[in-house]
Amino acid sequence: MPKALMIQGTSSNAGKSLIVTALCRIMRRNGINVAPFKAQNMSLQSFITKDGGEIGLAQAIQAFAAKVEPDIYMNPVLLKASGEQGSQVIVHGKVYKTMKPKEYYSEREKLWKAVTYSLDYLKTKHELLIIEGAGSPAEINLIEHDIVNMAVAEYLNAPVIIVGDIDRGGVFASIYGTVKLLKFHETLIKGFIINKFRGDFDILVPGIKEIENLINKPCIGIIPYLKNAGISAEDGFSLTSSINNQISLLTGTIKIVVLRLRYISNFSDFDPLKIEPDVELIYSLRKEDLLNADIIIIPGSKKTIEDLKLIKELGVDELLRKLSKNRTEIIGICGGFQMLGKKLIDPHKVESSLKEIDGIGLLPVETIFHPYKITTQVEGYVNSKPSITIKGYEIHMGETSGEINLFHIKRLATGESIFDGATRENIWGTYIHGIFENDSFRRLIINKHRVKKGLKPVEFISSWQKIKEDFIEKLADNIASSLSMERIWRLIGI
């Protein structure tokens, strides 16, 4: 029977995703056919699988670490917060319905069947599952509705390691409280990890010995605080200004501002821009930042119309129209592309209570929203420069018409060939997420602004894929050296 190991946390953001990513790579290095799993993820960071299914981005990164293809069964339930409407619930890669918490909990049995079906499927394909929990497993008001923490561990009889975040304080109390509140599942808990430690490890020794005695569970390891962890946060609340800190002999900086929307989604789209030594990237809606930008990007949004209304309330739309005349490059990705058009029409009230709203009006297109969602990987090329090839993925509820001619792409989920995106002078938009992961295209955009500033274009092209792979390798090294791998091998029985 396939083996399993589960990583749970005393809280959200304790470091579960990173640890699972590292363990997937460590196991793969040892020749084990391993796969990640998270029964239920709540995130606006998503990824599209080859067959067109939508899963959490973290599970896709974990699959890359395991060197297996991301699969809808690795994250059978994905929740995407939709404001007052509740959350859009995605089951096995496709939209199920939008529900508020009470409605969601009432469908526990149906969702649990999706979880167990996924686990049973993955067990037939892999030797080992590394499973990530969600939030805290000890939310005693929600345990009866659980489909992601101890319910999964019990179903697989999987050993559980609890991760505590010492950086937020109270780590010993949180570990003790978590274990004791899970008294009916305590036998499954086999140890704990202290994460994000800064300072002298010796200082922790007395506390570790005492907590080991109190809960009768061993410490599996102490992981130091890892700067620049490299995996985007699950939500947008932790976004901060990110000036590239690479040491560079390049002169000049290209300033890029991503609009910090209220419902920003898939902001991982812009992580590749951070690796460029001549780029300064910030998230902002401040007038001063926009006035000093070389490039302004309107990102994707889970609530496009609501975020468009925000842009208008702040006067950002008017500022963008003025800046467009000053040759500032303005880019729209997915929902941002829709906002740049003349009009957004929502006859079925998919997006909001408004049936129609004027866009910013910088592109000769308009969008109509439909109840169905388009999810597919794509590949193709820049229509005016066939030598520049691109890959990415679409995730959107809406179709845009007008002067669509920027990219020529093939939708891999359906096989259809279409045109995507629109451009007008220094303004352009596209539905393609991950567009800046294409190294030659990313450097083309940056070099255009170097030349505009009288600087020499940079010939060297950074490899985003290599940087991701190097990060995973380094992460695996750090985690392996911080944990008692001998204990972990014994737990999984391999």
For the chain, the three-class secondary structure string (H helix, E strand, C coil) is CCEEEEEEECCCCCCHHHHHHHHHHHHHHCCCCEEEECCEEECCCEEECCCCCEEEHHHHHHHHHHCCCCCHHHCCEEEEECHHHCEEEEECCEEEEEECHHHHHHCHHHHHHHHHHHHHHHHHHCCEEEEECCCCCCCCCCHHHCCCCHHHHHHHCCCEEEEEEHHHCCHHHHHHHHHHHCHHHHHHEEEEEEEEECCCHHHHHHHHHHHHHHHCCCEEEEEECCCCCCCCCCCHHHCCCEECCCCCCCCCCEEEEEECCCCEECHHHHHHHHCCCCEEEEEECCHHHHHCCCEEEECEECCHHHHHHHHHHCCHHHHHHHHHHCCCEEEEECHHHHHHCCEEECCCCCCCCCCEEECCCCCCEEEECCCCCEEEEEEEEECCEEEEEEEEEEEECCEEEECCCCEEEEECCCCCEEEECEEECCEEEECCECHHHCHHHHHHHHHHHHHHCCCCCCCCCCCHHHHHHHHHHHHHHHHHHHECHHHHHHHHCC
How high is the pLDDT of residue 126? Answer: 97
In terms of phi and psi (left: phi > 0; alpha: psi -120 to 50; beta: otherwise), the region of 296 is: beta
> Is residue 334 packed enough to be buried (19+ CB in 10 Å), middle (13-18) or exposed (0-12)?
buried
Query: CA torsion 173→176→179→182, rounded to 10°?
Result: -60
In terms of phi and psi (left: phi > 0; alpha: psi -120 to 50; beta: otherwise), the region of 421 is: left
Q: How far apart are CA 257 and CA 8, in angstroms?
A: 36
Residue type, 148: V
Of 160, 193, 153, 150, which Cα lies nearest the Cα of 175?
193
In this structure, what are the phi and psi dihedrals at residue 474, rounded to the nearest 5 degrees? -65, -40
Just list the catalytic residues: 334, 433
Residue type, 156: L
Supply the pTM of this predicted model.
0.93
How high is the pLDDT of residue 19? Answer: 97
Beta pairing class for 356-358 and 365-368: unpaired
Output the furthest CA–CA distance in the chain (Å, rounded).
Answer: 69
Q: How far apart are CA 353 and CA 84, in angstroms?
A: 12
| Rounded alpha-carbon distances, angstroms, from residue 294 to 106, 297, 426 | 50, 10, 11
Question: Nearest-5° angle of CA 22, CA 25, CA 26?
Answer: 85
Spatial CB neighbours of 299, under 8 Å, sequence gap ≥ 6: 258, 259, 261, 264, 265, 266, 267, 269, 270, 333, 334, 335, 336
Q: How far apart are CA 272 and CA 242, in angstroms?
A: 12
How high is the pLDDT of residue 351? Answer: 85
Of 93, 91, 45, which Cα lies nearest the Cα of 71?
93
What is the pLDDT tens value at each position of the chain, 494 positions in all? 579 999 999 999 999 999 999 999 999 999 999 999 999 999 999 999 999 999 999 999 999 999 999 999 999 999 998 877 789 999 999 999 999 999 999 999 999 999 999 999 999 999 999 999 999 999 999 899 999 999 999 999 999 999 999 999 999 999 999 999 999 999 999 999 999 999 888 899 999 999 999 999 999 999 999 876 555 555 433 333 343 444 345 667 999 999 999 999 999 999 999 999 999 999 999 999 999 999 999 999 999 999 999 999 999 999 999 999 999 999 999 999 999 999 999 999 888 889 999 999 999 999 999 999 999 999 999 999 999 999 999 999 999 999 999 999 999 999 999 999 999 999 999 999 999 999 999 999 999 999 999 999 998 899 999 999 999 999 999 999 999 999 999 999 98
In this structure, what are the phi and psi dihedrals at residue 297, rounded to the nearest 5 degrees? -115, 130
How high is the pLDDT of residue 192? Answer: 98
How high is the pLDDT of residue 290? Answer: 98
Asked if 296 and 321 touch (Cβ cutoff 8 Å), the reply is no
